[in-house]
A and B are shown apart, each in its own frame.
Chain A
Amino acid sequence: QSALTQPASVSGSPGQSITISCTGTSSDVGSYNLVSWYQQHPGEAPKLMIYEGSKRPSGVSNRFSGSKSGNTASLTISGLQAEDEADYYCCSFAGSDSWVFGGGTKLTVL
Protein backbone atom coordinates (compact mmCIF):
# COMPACT_ATOMS: atom_id res chain seq x y z
CA GLN A 1 0.00 0.00 0.00
CA SER A 2 1.59 3.28 -1.11
CA ALA A 3 1.32 6.40 1.02
CA LEU A 4 -1.20 9.04 0.03
CA THR A 5 0.34 12.05 -1.74
CA GLN A 6 0.38 15.44 -0.03
CA PRO A 7 2.34 18.61 -0.84
CA ALA A 8 5.42 18.86 1.34
CA SER A 9 4.63 22.38 2.48
CA VAL A 10 2.07 25.16 2.29
CA SER A 11 2.07 28.63 3.78
CA GLY A 12 -0.27 31.51 4.40
CA SER A 13 -0.59 34.74 6.32
CA PRO A 14 -2.80 35.17 9.37
CA GLY A 15 -6.43 35.52 8.37
CA GLN A 16 -5.97 33.87 4.99
CA SER A 17 -7.23 30.46 3.87
CA ILE A 18 -5.14 27.53 2.71
CA THR A 19 -6.01 24.15 1.24
CA ILE A 20 -4.00 20.94 1.54
CA SER A 21 -4.62 18.18 -0.98
CA CYS A 22 -4.36 14.44 -0.43
CA THR A 23 -4.30 12.18 -3.47
CA GLY A 24 -4.84 8.46 -3.27
CA THR A 25 -6.21 5.82 -5.60
CA SER A 26 -9.49 4.15 -6.47
CA SER A 27 -8.57 1.51 -3.85
CA ASP A 28 -8.51 3.89 -0.92
CA VAL A 29 -9.61 7.56 -1.10
CA GLY A 30 -11.76 6.94 -4.17
CA SER A 31 -13.51 3.89 -2.76
CA TYR A 32 -14.48 5.07 0.69
CA ASN A 33 -15.78 8.27 2.26
CA LEU A 34 -13.45 7.52 5.16
CA VAL A 35 -10.71 10.12 4.91
CA SER A 36 -9.52 11.68 8.15
CA TRP A 37 -7.11 14.53 8.83
CA TYR A 38 -4.68 14.90 11.73
CA GLN A 39 -2.77 17.88 13.09
CA GLN A 40 0.60 17.30 14.74
CA HIS A 41 2.64 19.91 16.58
CA PRO A 42 6.35 19.20 17.17
CA GLY A 43 6.93 16.62 19.89
CA GLU A 44 3.23 15.85 20.24
CA ALA A 45 0.94 13.06 19.13
CA PRO A 46 -1.36 13.58 16.14
CA LYS A 47 -4.81 15.03 16.84
CA LEU A 48 -7.95 14.15 14.87
CA MET A 49 -9.34 17.21 13.07
CA ILE A 50 -11.68 15.87 10.36
CA TYR A 51 -13.30 12.47 9.82
CA GLU A 52 -15.47 10.86 7.16
CA GLY A 53 -14.14 13.48 4.78
CA SER A 54 -15.90 16.52 6.21
CA LYS A 55 -17.06 15.96 9.80
CA ARG A 56 -15.45 17.73 12.76
CA PRO A 57 -15.01 16.09 16.17
CA SER A 58 -16.34 17.99 19.14
CA GLY A 59 -13.98 20.80 20.09
CA VAL A 60 -12.38 21.30 16.68
CA SER A 61 -12.76 24.80 15.29
CA ASN A 62 -15.17 25.32 12.39
CA ARG A 63 -12.28 27.03 10.61
CA PHE A 64 -11.27 23.51 9.60
CA SER A 65 -13.23 21.85 6.80
CA GLY A 66 -12.79 18.87 4.53
CA SER A 67 -14.00 17.68 1.16
CA LYS A 68 -13.38 14.96 -1.41
CA SER A 69 -13.60 14.61 -5.16
CA GLY A 70 -12.71 11.36 -6.83
CA ASN A 71 -9.36 10.12 -5.56
CA THR A 72 -8.41 13.44 -3.94
CA ALA A 73 -9.39 14.75 -0.52
CA SER A 74 -8.75 18.29 0.70
CA LEU A 75 -8.41 20.08 4.02
CA THR A 76 -9.14 23.80 4.13
CA ILE A 77 -8.19 26.03 7.02
CA SER A 78 -9.79 29.46 6.97
CA GLY A 79 -8.86 32.48 9.05
CA LEU A 80 -5.33 31.18 9.61
CA GLN A 81 -3.96 31.63 13.12
CA ALA A 82 -0.44 31.25 14.45
CA GLU A 83 -1.41 28.12 16.41
CA ASP A 84 -2.43 26.39 13.17
CA GLU A 85 1.26 26.07 12.27
CA ALA A 86 1.87 22.33 12.39
CA ASP A 87 2.21 19.20 10.27
CA TYR A 88 -1.01 17.85 8.75
CA TYR A 89 -1.60 14.25 7.70
CA CYS A 90 -4.46 12.68 5.78
CA CYS A 91 -5.45 9.07 6.26
CA SER A 92 -7.83 6.77 4.42
CA PHE A 93 -9.33 3.40 5.12
CA ALA A 94 -7.95 1.14 2.38
CA GLY A 95 -10.14 -1.92 2.66
CA SER A 96 -9.29 -5.38 4.01
CA ASP A 97 -8.98 -3.90 7.50
CA SER A 98 -6.05 -1.63 6.62
CA TRP A 99 -5.30 2.10 6.66
CA VAL A 100 -2.93 4.33 4.70
CA PHE A 101 -1.56 7.75 5.71
CA GLY A 102 -0.18 10.61 3.65
CA GLY A 103 3.40 11.76 3.85
CA GLY A 104 2.43 14.98 5.56
CA THR A 105 2.27 18.71 4.84
CA LYS A 106 4.10 21.33 6.87
CA LEU A 107 1.94 24.42 7.31
CA THR A 108 3.81 27.66 7.93
CA VAL A 109 1.90 30.72 9.10
CA LEU A 110 3.88 33.69 7.81
Chain B
Amino acid sequence: EVQLVESGGDLVQPGGSLRLSCAASGFTFSSYSMHWVRQAPEKGPVWVSRINSDGSSTSYADSVKGRFTISRDNAKNTLYLQMNSLRAEDTAVYYCARAGSGYTFDIWGQGTMVTVSS
Protein backbone atom coordinates (compact mmCIF):
# COMPACT_ATOMS: atom_id res chain seq x y z
CA GLU B 1 0.00 0.00 0.00
CA VAL B 2 1.29 3.43 -0.95
CA GLN B 3 1.59 5.42 2.26
CA LEU B 4 3.03 8.63 3.68
CA VAL B 5 3.23 9.13 7.44
CA GLU B 6 4.19 12.51 8.90
CA SER B 7 5.55 13.10 12.39
CA GLY B 8 7.22 15.82 14.43
CA GLY B 9 4.39 18.31 14.87
CA ASP B 10 4.25 20.03 18.24
CA LEU B 11 3.49 23.20 20.18
CA VAL B 12 6.42 25.61 19.82
CA GLN B 13 7.02 29.19 20.90
CA PRO B 14 7.38 32.01 18.35
CA GLY B 15 10.95 32.14 17.11
CA GLY B 16 11.46 28.46 17.80
CA SER B 17 12.39 25.57 15.51
CA LEU B 18 10.89 22.23 14.58
CA ARG B 19 11.75 19.41 12.18
CA LEU B 20 9.00 17.44 10.49
CA SER B 21 9.50 13.99 8.99
CA CYS B 22 7.53 12.05 6.40
CA ALA B 23 8.10 8.30 6.05
CA ALA B 24 7.21 6.85 2.66
CA SER B 25 6.35 3.25 1.84
CA GLY B 26 4.76 1.21 -0.93
CA PHE B 27 6.47 3.01 -3.83
CA THR B 28 9.96 3.82 -5.09
CA PHE B 29 10.52 6.97 -3.05
CA SER B 30 13.74 7.91 -4.84
CA SER B 31 11.89 8.23 -8.17
CA TYR B 32 9.50 10.97 -7.11
CA SER B 33 9.62 14.65 -6.33
CA MET B 34 7.93 15.44 -3.02
CA HIS B 35 6.10 18.41 -1.53
CA TRP B 36 5.07 19.91 1.77
CA VAL B 37 1.62 21.53 1.86
CA ARG B 38 0.08 23.18 4.93
CA GLN B 39 -3.47 23.96 5.91
CA ALA B 40 -4.40 26.39 8.66
CA PRO B 41 -7.59 25.64 10.61
CA GLU B 42 -10.69 26.25 8.49
CA LYS B 43 -8.57 27.46 5.57
CA GLY B 44 -7.52 26.07 2.19
CA PRO B 45 -4.25 24.26 1.60
CA VAL B 46 -1.15 26.29 0.81
CA TRP B 47 1.86 24.90 -1.04
CA VAL B 48 5.04 25.25 1.03
CA SER B 49 7.96 23.54 -0.65
CA ARG B 50 9.09 21.02 -3.24
CA ILE B 51 12.19 18.85 -3.67
CA ASN B 52 13.14 16.84 -6.72
CA SER B 53 13.81 13.11 -6.67
CA ASP B 54 17.53 13.21 -5.87
CA GLY B 55 17.40 16.28 -3.65
CA SER B 56 19.43 18.48 -5.94
CA SER B 57 16.68 21.03 -6.60
CA THR B 58 14.31 22.73 -4.15
CA SER B 59 11.73 25.51 -4.24
CA TYR B 60 9.80 27.42 -1.57
CA ALA B 61 6.78 29.64 -1.14
CA ASP B 62 7.77 33.25 -0.50
CA SER B 63 6.20 33.07 2.97
CA VAL B 64 8.72 30.49 4.17
CA LYS B 65 11.78 31.22 2.03
CA GLY B 66 14.87 31.65 4.16
CA ARG B 67 13.21 30.08 7.22
CA PHE B 68 12.27 26.56 6.08
CA THR B 69 14.49 23.91 4.49
CA ILE B 70 13.24 20.82 2.68
CA SER B 71 15.47 17.76 2.40
CA ARG B 72 15.27 14.03 1.88
CA ASP B 73 17.13 10.81 2.65
CA ASN B 74 16.38 8.34 -0.13
CA ALA B 75 18.18 5.55 1.74
CA LYS B 76 15.68 5.97 4.58
CA ASN B 77 12.66 6.75 2.35
CA THR B 78 12.10 9.89 4.39
CA LEU B 79 11.30 13.52 3.60
CA TYR B 80 12.05 16.34 6.04
CA LEU B 81 11.07 19.94 6.66
CA GLN B 82 13.29 21.99 8.96
CA MET B 83 11.35 25.00 10.20
CA ASN B 84 13.18 27.88 11.89
CA SER B 85 12.09 31.32 13.15
CA LEU B 86 8.54 30.08 13.48
CA ARG B 87 5.68 32.57 13.55
CA ALA B 88 2.08 32.37 14.70
CA GLU B 89 0.99 32.35 11.06
CA ASP B 90 2.88 29.10 10.51
CA THR B 91 0.29 27.32 12.67
CA ALA B 92 -1.27 24.62 10.49
CA VAL B 93 -1.54 20.95 9.69
CA TYR B 94 1.48 20.07 7.59
CA TYR B 95 1.04 17.41 4.92
CA CYS B 96 3.68 15.73 2.83
CA ALA B 97 2.51 14.83 -0.66
CA ARG B 98 3.92 12.93 -3.61
CA ALA B 99 4.30 14.76 -6.89
CA GLY B 100 2.02 13.12 -9.43
CA SER B 101 1.39 13.45 -13.14
CA GLY B 102 0.40 16.86 -14.38
CA TYR B 103 2.04 18.79 -11.55
CA THR B 104 -0.35 17.36 -8.97
CA PHE B 105 -0.22 16.10 -5.40
CA ASP B 106 -1.39 12.52 -5.93
CA ILE B 107 -0.72 10.89 -2.55
CA TRP B 108 -1.06 12.71 0.79
CA GLY B 109 -0.11 11.78 4.32
CA GLN B 110 -2.49 12.17 7.25
CA GLY B 111 -0.81 15.40 8.36
CA THR B 112 0.95 16.58 11.51
CA MET B 113 -0.16 19.62 13.54
CA VAL B 114 2.22 22.49 14.21
CA THR B 115 1.08 25.15 16.66
CA VAL B 116 3.16 28.29 17.18
CA SER B 117 2.07 30.07 20.33
CA SER B 118 3.48 31.46 23.56
Contacts and interface: CB of A to CB of B under 8 A. Distances in A.
B44 A48 contact: no
13 contacts: A3-B44, A34-B102, A34-B103, A36-B102, A36-B104, A45-B109, A45-B111, A46-B45, A46-B105, A48-B106, A91-B47, A91-B104, A97-B59
A64 to B, nearest CB: 14
Nearest to A44: B110
Chain A's interface size range is: 20 to 34
Interface string B67-96: 000000000000000000000000000010
Contacts of A104: 43-44
Contact of A47 (B44, B62, B108, B109): B108
Interface residues of B, number: 22
Contacts of B44: 3, 89, 101-104
Interface of B: 35, 43-47, 50, 59, 61-62, 95, 100-106, 108-111
A103 B114 CA distance: 20
Contact of B45 (A51, A93, A96, A101): A101
Given A98-B47, A101-B46, A55 B102 contact: yes
Contact of A45 (B35, B59, B61, B95): B95
